[in-house]
Amino acid sequence: MTPAKTGASITAKTGASTPAKATDAAAGTHAESAAPRLAASGLTLAYDRRVIAEGLDVAIPDASFTVVVGPNACGKSTLLRALARVLRPTAGTVTLDGEKIASWPARKLARTLGLLPQSSVAPEGITVADLVARGRYPHQGLLRQWSREDERVVAESMEATGVAALASRGVDELSGGQRQRVWIAMALAQQTSLLLLDEPTTFLDIAHQIEVLDLCARLHAEGRTVVAVLHDLNQAARYATHLVAMRDGRIVAEGPPAEVVTADRVAEVFGLRCRVIDDPESGTPLVVPAAPAAGSGSSGSPGNVVKVTQV
Amino acid sequence: MNGSSVSSGTTADGTAVGGAAVGGAAAGGAANRGVVLVRTGGVSLKLNARAVLVGAACAVAALVVSVFAIGGGDYPLSFGEVVRAVFGHGDASTDFIVNQLRLPRAATALAVGAALGLAGALFQSLARNPLGSPDLLGFTQGSTMGVLVAIVLLGGSSLALAAGAVIGGVLTGVLIVLLVGRNGAHGQRLVLVGVGIAAILTGVNGYLLTKAQITEAARAVLWLTGSLDGRDWKQAAPLLVMLALAGAITVSCGRAMRTLEMGDEAARALGVPVDRVRGLLLAVAVLLAALAAAAAGPVSFVALTAPQPARRLTRASGPNALPSACLGAAMLAAADLAGQRLVPGHQLPVGVVTGLLGGGYLIWLLSTERKAGRL
């Protein structure tokens, strides 16, 4: 509810975006929705002089759960960081609501687009409630340090991520899954309509990975645009509504998971021989790596697996 | 949740802290435990009650110790006599002894201690490392070099010494920032570059000392120990001005600084202008350390030591800058008093006392950090 409202008011304020939307819709360039709020064109991304990606064009469909996948060091986290303006591109532009993201005032941007970076450090001895409260920074000021609104939003964010019961606990005492939910709660407290998550499931065991992804899916269902970088292709295929596959700093494929995840594409992106079957739980594509001896005649048993799962 | 306990009577004059609601454990959930909330109209202020108490207690302790220090010496004065004289109600002789002879030294001690405590808290917060302090990062060595150049090469006056300390400290700061680079002015890299610079400057300083005439060398070594002997308002005044400025900047940047401790990316994502805030705070910390060195010489270890007990006392995350400043003032006042009284008939320079205490503290810190797996 709140994110939708924020989005509407911003679009209304930045009048420039409306005509752009109309022309794009007329041209019909984007399959999903015209003139997405967050997009990048001609991005060259580099750390110091080491170029990670060149000539990237990407559009994040509005209200999508977009997941960026690709092998290690393909530039997916770098792309996410550029989309959040944490990394300044060497060339090209990122636009948000029709304006160059570089020209957005820092606090206004932080009220519109949230990023959960990979590298956050919980200050020593901080409690869950205090950490979540830090997400209110862009809404606060020297004379507006802790309004009733702040209090309410922080409580709601902890409720939504299931960490309300942990509010007075120290963040250092929590399990990895709990801690990740606390960080997500902090990003939620920012009340942004776009939420970018950099590998939110890394270092978590499988149950906590699913827990975090279910939470992301719920945040998406509530109306936010969620963009996440994930390692696990199967999880990406299950949760994403829009998949971006990268390799060597290029975008190889983009679209709904069912179209993007094919055996050939997986071979191209990850260099992995596999077969793609339907996920028996969700019906989304499921990548099953080929057995080492699959080339010789092990058609028997994998075939059986496929039959079983297709029932 | 706290609404019921906020007095609406404060709306008339927003400064009335009497109407503040102290959020007890029951009042506003964990986020508000031990928090003093002031909400009137569009203004809402949040103070950590425990941090305020710790800061106030340290400040009171610093003042009490200073009164005892002023009362001691060849003409002992009682606590009451000193306080009366400071407020202008003493007789002519006590007024002279207190306000002309002893108060400037005590005030310098408090100002130097507060400046070092605050500088240490800022450095440690920016470096995200409890070893971030001007003595370990090379700033003190830079000030020392400035002073040695003033004494040895220019045969300088006491004003030249002070200028040398400030210029040396500031130039070291500029050098370190250039070497660390724009994107790395934090964490491990700041500490490593600083330690390297400190080592190089120590070598250069040793060389400068060998080049000095014996009388110059004696004067330089006296300065190098860190002493408050014969300090007057001329030494304290610039530092007091800087402290007021630094206090105001620290308060206004406090929330941004706490956010920075979570990492550059997290801070940027929350809308903190990271480079600007860090540059400003680094400049403040460097100036505080340099002016403190100009006033009292390189008093070691106060900047390193003060922030950690301050944090343990307040039990608050964040830089704890102001409690640390108050604790630094109390520590330096106490060290100066100890130096004057500990060995009868003999005065130890304050730098010797803080060095002895601080060295012990550093060993303790290294061993606990190691046990906690942080080093």
Q: pLDDT digits over B152-178, tens only?
A: 888 778 889 899 999 999 999 999 988
Q: Quick one: pLDDT at residue B186? A: 59
pLDDT at B374: 60
DSSP class of residue B349 equals P
Cα dihedral A220, A225, A231, A232 in deg (nearest 10): 40
Encode pLDDT of B219-272 as tens digits.
Answer: 888 888 888 888 888 888 999 999 999 999 999 999 999 999 898 899 999 999
Interface of B with A in 100-129 (CB under 8 A): 128
Tokens, residue B254: 């406090």
* Interface contact flag, B45 A143, Cβ < 8 Å: yes
Which contacts qualify for B279-283: CB closer than 8 Å, 24 or more apart?
B279/B185, B280/B249, B280/B253, B281/B122, B281/B125, B281/B126, B281/B249, B281/B250, B281/B253, B281/B257, B282/B122, B282/B126, B282/B173, B282/B177, B282/B185, B283/B173
User: What are the structure tokens assigned to B331, written together?
Assistant: 């520590």
Per-residue confidence at B70, pLDDT binned at 50, 70, 90?
A: very high
| Residues in A touching B187 (Cβ below 8 Å) | none
What are the angstrom distances between the C-alpha of B72 and each of A272, B69, B77, B236, B340?
82, 5, 7, 21, 9
Question: Max CA-CA distance within chain B?
Answer: 73
The per-residue pLDDT for range B291-349, each reduced to its tens digit, is 999 999 988 889 999 998 898 899 888 889 999 999 999 999 999 999 988 888 788 88
- Write b or e for each residue in A42-60: b if 16 or more Cβ atoms lie within 10 A of its Cβ, otherwise e: ebbbbeeeeebbbebebbb
pLDDT greater than 70 at residue B25: no
pLDDT digits (tens, 9 = 90+) for B89-115: 889 999 999 998 899 999 999 999 999
Tokens standing for B285?
């910390």
Number of cross-chain residue pairs from A and B with Cβ atoms under 8 Å apart: 119
Report the share of chain B in percent with pLDDT over 90: 50
pLDDT of residue A21: 39
pLDDT at B182: 64
**pLDDT at A13 (0 to 100):** 34
> Are B271 and A126 within 8 A, CB to CB?
no
pLDDT at B64 over 80: yes
Written as one letter, the residue type at A232 is D
For residue B32, the model assigns a pLDDT of 53
CA distances from B73 to A120, A151, B76, B86, B97 (A): 54, 55, 6, 17, 10
> How far B319 CA lies from chain A's nearest CA (Å)?
10
Q: Do the beta carbons of residue B228 and residue B350 sit within 8 Å?
A: yes
Strand A242-247: give its sheet, edge to edge. Answer: A113-116, A194-198, A225-229, A65-69, A242-247, A250-255
Residue B52 burial (CB count, 10 A):
15
What span, in angstroms and rounded, lies between the C-alpha atoms of B348 and B341? 9
Chain B contact for A46, CB < 8 A?
no
What are the sequence ranges of the domains in chain B? 5-371
d(CA B155, CA B207): 16
Nearest C-alpha neighbor of A123 from the set B323, B266, B23: B266
Q: Is the pLDDT of residue B84 over 90?
A: yes
The answer to whether A56 and A35 have CB atoms below 8 angstroms apart is no
Residue B118 sits at φ, ψ, to 5 deg, of -70, -45
Do B44 and A135 lie within an 8 Å CB cutoff? no
Q: Are residues A87 and A45 in contact, defined by beta-carbon separation less than 8 angstroms?
A: yes
Which positions ≥6 away from A164 have C-beta within 8 Å? A155, A158
Q: Give the whole-angstrom CA distance, residue A286 versus residue A279.
A: 5
Q: pLDDT tens for residues B121-159? A: 999 999 888 888 898 899 999 999 999 999 888 877 888
Q: Give SS3 for B30.
A: helix
Confidence (pLDDT) at B21: 43
Residue to mutate among A77, A127, A130, with most B CBs inside 10 A, is A130
- Rounded to an integer, what distance in angstroms lies between the CA atom of residue A183 and that of residue A142? 24
Determine the Cα–Cα distance for residues B56 and B79; give it in Å rounded to an integer. Answer: 20
Residues of B in contact with A130 (CB under 8 A): 31, 317
Q: What is the CATH class of B5-371?
A: mainly alpha
* pLDDT tens per residue across all 311 residues of chain A: 344 443 333 333 333 333 333 333 333 344 444 689 999 999 999 987 889 999 999 999 999 999 999 999 999 999 999 999 999 999 999 999 999 999 999 999 999 999 999 888 898 889 999 999 999 999 999 899 999 999 999 999 999 999 999 999 999 999 989 999 999 999 999 999 999 999 999 889 999 999 999 999 999 999 999 999 999 999 999 999 999 999 999 999 999 999 999 999 999 999 999 999 999 999 999 999 999 865 554 444 444 444 444 43
**Sequential DSSP letters for B79-128:** HHHHHHHHTT-S-HHHHIIIIIIIHHHHHHHHHHHHHHHHHHHHHHHHHT
Sheet of A99-100, strand order: A50-60, A38-47, A91-96, A99-100
Q: Tell me, what DSSP letter sits at residue A251?
A: E
Measured CA to CA, the distance from residue B149 to residue B168 in angstroms comes to: 9
Which of these, B5, B52, B44, B45, lies nearest to B24 by C-alpha position? B5
Set of chain A residues whose Cβ sits within 8 Å of the Cβ of B263: 117, 119-121
What's the length of chain B? 375
Q: Which of B30, B45, B272 sits opposite A127 (nearest CB)?
A: B30
Chain B hits for A133, Cβ within 8 Å: 31
At B213-222, the pLDDT tens digits run 888 888 888 8
- Of residues A219 and B374, more confidently modeled: A219
**Has residue B31 got a pLDDT over 60?**
no
| B40 vs A262, residue with greater confidence | A262
Distance, CA of B261 to CA of B128 (rounded, Å): 6
Q: Residue B16 pLDDT more than 50?
A: no
User: pTM (2 decimals)?
Assistant: 0.84
> Under an 8 A CB cutoff, do A109 and B271 touch?
yes
